[in-house]
Amino acid sequence: MPDSMPDHAPSFQNYIDGAFVGGGAGAIDVTDPATGEVVGTQALADARDVDRAVNAAARLHRERTLRDMRPIERGRMVQAVGQYLTAHREEIARLLTLEQGKPIWESLIEVDGAARYFEYYGNQAATVEGRSVPLGEGYFDWTEAEPYGVSAQVIPWNYPIEMTARSLAPALATGNACVVKSPELTPLTATWIARAAEAAGLPAGAVNIICGIGTEAGAALCAHPGVNQIVFTGSVPTGIAIATAAAQNIVPCVLELGGKSAAIVHDDADLAAFENDIRWGIYFNAGQVCSAMSRVIVHESRVDELIGRAESVARGLQMRPGIECEEFGPTMGSLVSDGQRERVAGMVDAARGEGASVVSGGYVPNKTGAFYAPTVLAGVTPDMAIANEEVFGPVLSILTFRGDAEAIEIANATPYGLAAGVFTGDLDRATRAARRLRAGQVYVNEWYAGGVETPFGGYGKSGYGREKGREALWNYVQTKNIAIKLAGPT
Ligand code: NAD
């Protein structure tokens, strides 16, 4: 890939065994969803490319180069990947915006977030310890945390560089060799991870990055007998296919799937402050966030005020091509594709048909690009499809409740369980609710509170296993117990 974007669309290759290579399945055009223009062409892997990538990773694991390194040195290499990304953050952010649609300022946040994973897990590399187990006088026993070997990682299109960093950093820090399958819609920025791995001095085979059609290259990767562990972030149906493939080979897998996450807003909540949670919770990345605040369940005494505030947040956002939005501000980019926009439009129309009222948005603007207006739906009831199914777009559904128990029941009523929020000035009430909400993380008085350091994952159909935080490290290692029978006293 060239250092800067030339006038003609550049080609992007796969990265296998330390070399940039073409793909056996040809190439696809990657387009800017805000304009329809081609940003670049991406090589597509076929099953043979998948095989080469897995074999390269398996060879490296057999050679023990990465796993036998002093953890602190391996950790420094992982940190160097992040430092490389930071050094190129502006270029990466531009490319990310062009392929994904988000404003440049959002892309910068994503690139910085990706770098942060490498910083954090690079630091953790030397902390993965075993323990000694007392077996009495005649034995010495201890455990070691060993890398699985080949970690296969399948990435979604909404945060391509950050999601790649989220699984790659802990996998490398614990000494695994990785094969990443980048998403077809937004594969281009992954090239920067490959470059960063090279610059950091990671040995060939430690990081392999291939793009390919999910049901072809993705399926071939997850079914490959050389893969020892799988991490998947994406939709529930694909998660089921991948968990099934993992079961066939008896390999563990982490599933980070979708959500229909709800914020409970109590009668004593600070609604002025909550405007910020609406802004970030449902309109950041145009709502294409697995843990988006897609439902607000508000006490009936405050619903009118909340609707008014949500409307003003939504109407205050300008829909603009991401590349025009360098500075942080009230801007929202396009959705990732026309297909995603049609899906969102279809779900909002269906909600209207079921009796929800459109307070703001609810339309496709008359302009080029996959834009959809920031939308607020009021009068949503728990039985409506819009209250249960993930939209993955800029659509906020507002529901009401009378008593605390009812609020929790509504929040817990979907098959998902990724995130939940409680907004109140009463810490006892918040604590009680937090314990009863069926979700992998609960935000109190700030949606998305937390960071790289805090464990993240789902209950129910939102998946299993935890990414982020120290918890994530345990996805990438298996415990070996070593018991020694000591000779008798001399
Ligand atoms: P998707 O499931 O369609 O695709 C995700 C990835 O899986 C892509 O790389 C795709 O090529 C690949 N894939 C598709 N079929 C496959 C198969 N049979 N075998 C192997 N790989 C296959 O999801 P998407 O549309 O890219 O992403 C949107 C979904 O991801 C949403 O549901 C969202 O909630 C979820 N998501 C979850 C998190 C999280 O951390 N929980 C984060 C981001 C996105």
pLDDT digits (tens, 9 = 90+) for 102-135: 999 999 999 999 999 999 999 999 999 999 999 9
Pick the residue whose CA is nearest to atom 11 on ligand 1. 214
Q: Please give the pLDDT value at position 4.
A: 47
Domain boundary among 450, 468, 483: 450
Are the CB atoms for 83 and 416 separated by under 8 Å?
no
Let me know whether 180 and 299 are in one domain. Answer: no
Please report which helix (H) or strand (E) contains residue 434, including its range. Answer: helix 427-436
The closest-lying atom of ligand 1 relative to the alpha carbon of residue 463 is 41
Confidence check: pLDDT of 20 > 70: yes
Taking CA atoms, 400 is separated from 296, 411, 423, in Å, by: 8, 11, 14
Domain boundary among 205, 222, 257: 257
What total of structural domains would you count in the chain?
2
What is d(CA 228, CA 157) in angstroms, rounded to the nearest whole number?
Answer: 24
Confidence of residue 9 (pLDDT cuts 50, 70, 90): confident
- Structure token pair of residue 128: 């993965």
Q: Let me know if residue 422 belongs to a domain.
A: yes
Let me know whether 184 and 95 are in one domain. Answer: yes
Counting ligand 1 atoms within 8 A of each CB, the residue from 162, 290, 293, 468 with the most, and so the one to mutate, is: 290
Are the CB atoms for 324 and 32 separated by under 8 Å?
no
Q: How many angstroms is it from 159 CA to the middle of ligand 1?
A: 11
Confidence check: pLDDT of 2 > 50: no
Confidence of residue 3 (pLDDT cuts 50, 70, 90): very low
What is d(CA 418, CA 397) in angstroms, rounded to the nearest whole number?
Answer: 17
Instruction: Write out residues with Cβ below 6 Å of ligand 1.
Output: 154-158, 163, 181, 183-184, 214-215, 218-219, 222, 233-235, 238, 241-242, 256-259, 290, 390, 392, 418
Let me know whether 202 and 303 are in one domain. Answer: no
Q: How many angstroms is it from 256 CA to the middle of ligand 1?
A: 9
Let me know whether 70 and 218 are in one domain. Answer: yes
Owner of token pair 């209207």:
352
pLDDT digits (tens, 9 = 90+) for 420-471: 999 999 999 999 999 999 999 999 999 999 999 999 999 999 999 999 999 9
Pick the residue whose CA is nearest to atom 42 on ligand 1. 290
Q: Let me know if residue 286 belongs to a domain.
A: yes
Q: Let me know if residue 176 belongs to a domain.
A: yes
Let me know whether 413 and 429 are in one domain. Answer: yes
The rounded Cα 323 to chain-centroid distance in angstroms is 22
Task: Give the contacts of 11 (CB within 8 A, at least 6 positions apart).
Answer: 1, 27, 40, 41, 42, 43
Q: Let me know if residue 467 belongs to a domain.
A: no
Let me know whether 250 and 279 are in one domain. Answer: no
* Across 217-232, average pLDDT: 98
What is d(CA 246, CA 239) in angstroms, rounded to the nearest whole number?
Answer: 10
Domain boundary among 198, 227, 257: 257
Q: Let me know if residue 483 belongs to a domain.
A: no
Catalytic residues: 256, 290
Q: How many angstroms is it from 33 CA to the middle of ligand 1?
A: 18
Let me know whether 399 and 352 are in one domain. Answer: yes
Burial 64-74 (b: 16+ CB within 10 A, else e): ebbbebebeeb
Q: Let me know if residue 469 belongs to a domain.
A: no
Q: Please give the pLDDT value at position 488.
A: 80
**Which domain CATH number covers 51?**
3.40.605.10
Let me know whether 381 and 419 are in one domain. Answer: yes
Confidence check: pLDDT of 7 > 60: no
Pick the residue whose CA is nearest to atom 40 on ligand 1. 256
Give me the amino acid identity at 41.
T
Confidence check: pLDDT of 174 > 80: yes
Any bridge partners for residue 21, and if so which? 14
Owner of token pair 């390999």:
251
Confidence of residue 160 (pLDDT cuts 50, 70, 90): very high
Q: Let me know if residue 490 belongs to a domain.
A: no
pLDDT digits (tens, 9 = 90+) for 268-290: 999 999 999 999 999 999 999 99
> Which phi and psi angles does 13 have, rounded to 5°?
-110, 170
* Across 142-169, average pLDDT: 98
Let me know whether 406 and 353 are in one domain. Answer: yes
- State the maximum Cα–Cα separation within the chain, in Å, rounded to a whole number: 89
Domain around 114: 11-257
Using a pLDDT cut of 90, give the percent of the chain over it: 98
Q: Please give the pLDDT value at position 8.
A: 67
Q: Please give the pLDDT value at position 490.
A: 64
pTM of the model: 0.96
The closest-lying atom of ligand 1 relative to the alpha carbon of residue 290 is 34
- Structure token pair of residue 13: 């290759």
**Which domain CATH number covers 408?**
3.40.309.10
* Across 149-176, average pLDDT: 98
Confidence check: pLDDT of 54 > 80: yes
Using a pLDDT cut of 70, give the percent of the chain over it: 98
Q: How many angstroms is it from 174 CA to the middle of ligand 1?
A: 25
Q: How many angstroms is it from 301 CA to the middle of ligand 1?
A: 39
Pick the residue whose CA is nearest to atom 16 on ligand 1. 214
Let me know whether 252 and 267 are in one domain. Answer: no
Let me know whether 242 and 282 are in one domain. Answer: no
Q: Let me know if residue 484 belongs to a domain.
A: no
Are the CB atoms for 380 and 398 separated by under 8 Å?
yes
pLDDT digits (tens, 9 = 90+) for 306-362: 999 999 999 999 999 999 999 999 999 999 999 999 999 999 999 999 999 999 999
Let me know whether 127 and 192 are in one domain. Answer: yes
